[in-house]
Each structure stands twice: as C-alpha cells, then as structure tokens.
Structure 1
Amino acid sequence: MSLMPVEEAQARLLALAKPLPREDAPLLHCNGRWLASDVMALRDQPFTDLSAMDGYAVQAGSGPWRVTQESAAGGPVPQPLAPGQAARIFTGAPVPVGADAILIQENAERDADLVRCTTGNLLKPGLHLRPQGSDFKDGEVLLRAGSQLGPAQLGLAALAGHGTLPVHRRPRIAILSTGNELVAPGAPIPVGKLPSSNSVMLAAMLQQLPCEISDVGIIADDLDAMKAAFDSVRHFDLIISTGGASVGDHDLVRPAFAAAGGTLDFWKIRMRPGKPLMAGTLDGAIFLGLPGNPVSAFVTATLFVKPLISHLCGSPTPLPRFSSAPLARDLGPTGERDDYLRARMTPEGAVALTAQDSAATRALADANCLIVRPAGSEFAARDSLVTILPL
C-alpha cells in the first residue's frame, strides 16, 4: 500500500461525515461553537435615541435652556420637551422627544433651573447622541451561518434579544489507549510498564473544541478485548485509538476494527512522524487510529483529529492555518515523507529542536510550532522561508 499524501487524507477524512445536526443551545453553552444558521436581531439597538454622555438634552442652538425634568437609564420614559426646555440626562438614558443634542456636563453652567453652554459655540444636531438602531436594527442579519461564536458574538446575540442560538450538536468522542505496557497515570509503574500519556494529552487538546470526551481506558493487546472495546463505543460520533496501528504482531487495532464490522477508508500517510495513521467508519461513527508514540499521536491529532471535530461542529474552514517564518539554523534535505519538525520561534526565526524522535515528549513540550517540510525538500539555509504550523 503506497503512502497517502497528507492533503488527500485530510480531504477523504472530512468527506466521511457531514456537520452534526442543529440544536438550540443556551448562550452560556455556545462559546467556541459554530452557528448552524443565520442569526437576526430581534430588536433595535439602541431601542431609542440615547445620550452618549452625562449632561443636558436640549434642542440644538445657543441656549440658554430651562431644565424641566431628568432622564436616567432604566428610569421612566421622559416627557417631550418644548422649545427652550432641557432635561438633565445621564449616559445611556433616553433622549426626550424635542431634543436633538446633548450639552455635556463639562461645558454646562447651571443656575437654579437655567443652564447655559460655557464654550460659546452653537450646539449642532446629533451631538453626543446614539441614534435609535445605529448599532443594529430589528430583522438585520448579525451573525452568519458558519461563524464561530466567542465572547463578543455571544454578547451581541444577547443584546439582540436571543437567549439560545442555533449551533451544531457537540460531537461525542471516545478515546481508547491500547497496549499491554500501559498503566494509568499516577499508578505504580512495574518494570517494563509505561504510564499512559496519550489519552491525557488528547483530551487536553480536544477540550479546546466544543465536544464531549469519554476516556474508555487502557485496552490490552488482545483481539477479543479490542473488538469488545469497539463494540462498546460504536454509538459515539468519533472513536480515537492510540497505539497498535502499525504492522507488528501486537498491532491488533486494524484486525479488531474489521472484526467489529468497521470499514477502513485509508491507512498509512506520507508524513513523519505519524505514518501509521488509519481512518474508517464503524456504523455511524468515524474511526481514527493514531500511532502510539506520543509525538506521532500529537501531530496526527493536530492535522486530522482537530480538523475533523471542527468539521463536525460546522466550521467552514476546519483545516490548520499555516504561516511562514525564516529559519534561524540550516536544515538538511528531507526523505520520502513530509517532515513535521518540533521547533521554537525565536527573534531570529524558527529553530528545529535537536530531539526529533517520535517518543521524545520533552522536545514536544518545549515546542511552540512545527516546521513543515515537504518530501524531497532540498537543503534549506539559514534565513530561508519555511512553512510553520503554530501550536
């Protein structure tokens, strides 16, 4: 089986499923999610003309004006003003009918009920006013389908009159860790055993996205045990396994997946690290089998798992966004696979870390980006521009 290019594998993976169905979720449960349909304003904002400053609502001109009432935010609706009258007004308060400007407090001089402008300037209509509907109007489309919701968007939706928003359902994700050598994090570590780190790392990565994560635990390198594990999670939207994805005698994920009724779509990617990645479907679930080495699991999760979850959540642009940077040190040529090198950005440019073994997790923790170099790339000298994937 020839190695599949990363871009082709990503496209095939995203083609396995459509965004999940719509649900109406409370605003407090919408942060980070993508809209399933357009959102329109249910009211004008401001709902009427409002004052942008503390001062006096007046009819534009030179004054003086006689103060006859007061208007405060949340208070009674002010009465209309006759010519020559003014209303003491505060920021955010409704402007009485008959007033078309605000004499700000700093430029006002008041003597009993009479107020004057101290600058000697004529007040112009519209001065320090927030006109009705100047932010948005009832029925106006404020947020488009496919927009990702953050604090500003949620604040806008609340102000527009919404208590819920139409978003895509959160994907339900099961994580399986495979390997006889694994023990739970924090448990005693017998000779020859290894703490399971991939499930913790993956869960932390995926918590940045709107999804529901279930850690199924450690599955032994046993065909029946793995098949039973697949059977137990076939109702999830996405099944992620780590380990057992290669071709050794104990790499049983692929045959166990087939025994459970799964259909493999592709296997083995032209990338380093991460070559053994596999993908397929099991009933309505998508399956991604990641390599067991932590760096390989991290890189493949960055390039495949996170984009797939974003796609299921309704993102119109789920794939990673790359940038470019100069090299701070020379890099040698690449082989037959695309290289994803752990690196750090410095004032001089990107520096590939010394340790690039797929089990070197300390270098992964030190990295803040990946240098991406296509297969067959030639020697790259310092200051050459390279593709960067920020982490």
Structure 2
Amino acid sequence: MIQEAHWEQARVEAYSFWKKLPSEKISLNLCVDRTLATDAIALVELPTYPTSAMDGYAVCGKGPWRIVGEVKAGAPMKGGLKEGTAVKIATGAVIPDKTFGIIRWEIATVDGDNLNGEVKEGQEIRPAGLESNKGEVLATAGTVLNPGLIGLLAAAGHDLLEVVRIPKATIILLGDEIVLDGLPHDGLVRDALGPQLPGWLHKLGVEVIATHYVSDELDLVTKAFAAAAKNSDVVFTTAGTADGPRDHVRAAIAALKGELIIDRVKVRPGHPMVLAHINKVPFVGLPGNPQSAIVALLTLGQPVIDALMGRKEAELHQIVTGDDINVPEGFTRLVLGNIVDGWFEMGEYLGSAMLRGLAHSTGFAVAEKSMEEGEMVAWLPLP
C-alpha cells in the first residue's frame, strides 16, 4: 500500500495495477467511442483498384482521341483501351487497362466523338494501394474509435471489430445527511454527486449498472461493498474516506479481506481518496465533497478505467497560466478553470464543497508548486 501518494505516482499506480477486460466483436456501426482490443489492419489495398481522381476522359496513346464509351463508378470496363481511343470516366471509377492518363472534363475539348486536350502519363489516376497496403495497421490496440476511423476501417473491408468490453460500474453513495429530491431541510443537503457521477462515468466510457445510497453503518456498508464486488468491474464510492467516527470505507474493505492500494493522495482538493480492491475488483473511494470527488475521479478513477479498457496511459499537455497559482507545500493542487486564447484562466468558487466552479469549467490546471502568471502548467481536461 502507498500512503500519502504523490499525485503523479498515484495515477501511474492506479493505471498499472489492472488487466484489460475481455474483448468482444461487434458491428462496425456500433463502435463509436469503443476501444480497439487488437490492431486493425487493412484487409484490402486502399484504393482497392486504380481509380480516377476526377470526372473526365481516360485516354490511350497520343491525341486526338475518339470517344468509344463510358466507365461508371462500380462498373469496370471489360477489356482495355486501344491506341487513339478514350472513354468518359467518373470519379472513383476503375481505370481501364492501357490508360495513359485522365483529362478533366472541364479542360477537355470535345467535338462529337472527338476529344482533344493535354495529358501527362498517370494524370489524375489514383494507384491501387496509394493510401494503404493490404495488411497495413490502420489503428492500434487501445485506440478509441471515432467516426472517421470507423469509415476508414469500413473501406478497408471490416464488418466487425474486436473491442474491449465496456466496464460495468456500481456507484455507492454513503451518508445520512443527503436528501434525494426537493429542497433540503432539517440540516440535510441535496445530493449533488448521485445525479452527476453517472454522466462523468459515461463520458469516461463506463456503463453504470447500479447506484445505491447506503447509511453510515459499518454492516450496511460492508454488505453493499460485497454485493457490488460480485456484479461489477469497478466500484465507485463517495464519502466515508476520512477519519471520522462514521467513515467506514477502509473498515469495510478490511472486513471483506480486500486490500488498500493507495491510501490518500497529496493533492488539494481531494486528499482523502482511496484506491483498493476486493477480489481483484477495483474500488475507487471518492471524498464526499463534490469538487474533491471529481478530482479523485480523475486522479484514480480515470487511470483505472483506461487500464480496464486497454487504453494508453493519458499524457497531460502543457499550457500557459494567466493567473498566479498558490500551492500548499508538499502537495499538488488541481485548479478548475478554462483555456481562453491558449491561456489557463482560473475559475471561481474553488472550494472543495462548491459546485459552480465545476459547472462552468472544462478542466484542471495541475500545479506541482506555486506558479506565477506566464509559467507553464499541466492541463487535465474534464471528460
């Protein structure tokens, strides 16, 4: 177990501890935002045939030429051209044998069946394999598929793709002080994590299969953890990670013979976060304050999810801060804000229990030390 992990160390450890989930083959049109489990190769050359890059005329030999027919896309010409002849040809149509080049229709001179124009050898012809050879890797394992990649792989001959199974998650929200609807009353507070966590997890690629609200009683927490470990690939808990008399996350994990992997991270906000496993099922313990919880989600939860999905370990980009950032000695500080004209602009309402800063920001500046305006700082985007 790592006690009081450094922020970067915590993310590396959270990523390295888990194995990729099993894969499944699914239809190409269902693969947007799914993660490739294996390299995807071209099953054919791209283009598969030599094709015309333009609407025009395919010619053989020197001009002038006699137009003897037409070649449409998807209907190759039988036989080849003869010296001094030409055919009309559509963009994407297969090049007839013995074609010297293509004359674009807008620069061709046509008089009846007679064609004149200038042409160079190979002009406006896309050779087979120009974009990729058969067997070439078009996307590597761990790639998150976007519509453009799916179009490429469809053209390369794929009907099905092998992708990593979507992780199934259970959320367990701990506490006696929350009200689930309407207005807060009698010292209770309205639940803000239950409504938002499923959305963040969906953006990270996870399917939330259950959300449970559990009172701060050790036996109830232990039973909830045991049930979640049987049915989930990953479990997220909120609250109960500090040292108060009703904070039972660590005790419940111990009662189930689980193992703590990371106990607290030296980051503000979000310090009392926890990473553990019960029967090899990851448990990510998020603090109860909303901003702290999302810091913990991106610190420990996102690397766990990336590992389960076989994605590459995330690398943070550097941006320029437009504000001074004060950081407690020995800690990393994550500061909500936005990128404006390429510069980091600090948000407002940055207290760990506050929600407005989170609602109006697109990510966190990750500061390892106090910084002044104009210095470079890492950028951790929200999903």
* 8 Å CA contact 1:307, 1:320 repeated in 2: no
Q: 1:88 to 1:352 in 2, by over 3 A?
A: closer
Quote the offset at 1:363 in angstroms.
1.8
Deviations 1:9-44 (A, max 9, x none): 223222321111222222223222332222222112
In the alignment, structure 1 residue 8 sits paired with structure 2 residue 3: no
Matches within 5 A, 1:4-83: 4-61=5-62, 63-75=63-75, 77-83=77-83
Equivalence for 1:388: 379
1:316 aligns to 2:317 (yes or no)? no
| TM-score (norm. length: structure 1) | 0.90
**Amino acid across the alignment from 1:279:** L
- More moved, 226-235 vs 1-10: 1-10
Report the AA paired with residue 214 of structure 2.
I
Alpha-carbon distance between aligned partners in 1 of 2:310 and 2:35, rounded to the nearest angstrom: 6
Structure 2 counterpart of 1:334, one-letter code: P
CA deviation after TM superposition for structure 1 residue 348, in Å: 8.9
SS at match of 1:310: helix
Q: Does 2:196 align with 1:197?
A: no
Spell out the pairing of 1:318-357 with structure 2 (5 A cutoff): 319-328=314-323, 330-332=324-326, 334-347=328-341, 349-357=343-351
Deviation at 1:218, TM superposition (A): 1.2
Aligned mates of 1:51, 1:348 — CA distance in 2: 42
Contact 2:58–2:89 (CA<8 Å) still a contact in 1?
Answer: yes
Give yes or no for contact 1:325–1:388 (8 Å, CA) kept in 2: no
**Bigger shift: residues 40-49 or 154-163:** 40-49
Q: Secondary structure of 2:265's match?
A: coil
Alpha-carbon contact 1:175-1:239 (below 8 Å) kept: yes
The normalised TM-score by structure 2 is: 0.92
1:210 Cα deviation (Å)?
Answer: 2.7
Q: Deviations over 1:301-344 (max 9, x none)?
A: 11221121112111122x3513131333x344523422112234
The residue that corresponds to 1:212 in the other structure is 207
Identity of aligned residues (%): 32
Q: 1:51 is matched by which residue type in structure 2?
A: S
**Aligned 1:30-179 pairs, distance under 5 A:** 30-61=31-62, 63-75=63-75, 77-117=77-117, 121=118, 123-179=119-175
Cα distance change on mapping 1:65 and 1:20 into 2, 3 Å:
same
1: CA distance between counterparts of 2:41 and 2:376?
Answer: 44
Classify the secondary structure of the residue corresponding to 1:70.
strand
Range moving further from structure 2, 302-311 or 258-267: 258-267
Aligned to 1:281: 277
> CA separation in 2, counterparts of 1:366 and 1:270?
25
Shift of 1:354: 4.7
Measured after TM superposition, the shift of residue 76 of structure 1 is: 5.0
- More divergent stretch after superposition (4-13 vs 279-288): 4-13
The alignment of Structure 1 onto Structure 2 pairs a total of residues equal to 380
Kindly indicate whether the alpha-carbon contact (under 8 Å) linking 1:172 and 1:237 is maintained by their aligned counterparts in 2.
Answer: yes
- The CA distance in 1 between the partners of 2:233 and 2:152, in whole Å, is 31
The letter for the 1-side match of 2:81 is L
Cα 1:190–1:214 change in 2 (3 A) is farther
> By how many angstroms is 1:64 displaced?
1.4
* Rounded Cα–Cα distance in structure 2 between residues aligned with 1:142 and 1:260: 45
- Opposite residue 161 of structure 2, the aligned amino acid is L
Q: Is the 8 A contact 1:71 1:78 kept in 2?
A: no
Instruction: Map 1:176-325; keep pairs closer than 5 Å.
Output: 176-184=172-180, 186-187=181-182, 189-235=184-230, 236-317=232-313, 319-325=314-320
2:358 maps to which residue? 364
Q: Give the counterpart letter for 2:252 in structure 1.
A: A
CA distance in 2, matches of 1:368, 1:77: 55
CA separation in 1, counterparts of 2:44 and 2:254? 55
Q: 1:4 to 1:82 in 2, by over 3 A?
A: same
CA-CA distance at 1:285 after TM superposition:
0.8
State the secondary structure of the residue aligned to 1:386: strand
- Partner Cα distance (1:78, 1:274) in 2: 70
* Residue 193 (structure 1) shift: 2.1
Q: Give 1:126 shift.
A: 0.6
How far, CA to CA, are the matches of 2:211 and 2:287 in structure 1? 17
Structure 2 residue matching 1:7: 3-state secondary structure: helix
How big is the shift at 1:86? Answer: 0.9
Out of 343-352 and 200-209, give the one that drifted further: 343-352
- What's the CA shift for 1:136? 2.0
CA contact (8 A) 1:78 1:95 kept: no
What runs of 5+ residues in structure 2 fail to find an aligned partner?
none
Give the distance between the partners of 1:164 and 1:364, measured in 2 at CA. Answer: 39
| SS in structure 2 at match of 1:3 | strand
Give the whole-Å Cα distance in 1 for the aligned partners of 2:340 and 2:114: 65
Q: CA deviation at 1:353?
A: 3.7
Asked if the contact 1:343/1:350 (under 8 Å) is kept, the reply is yes
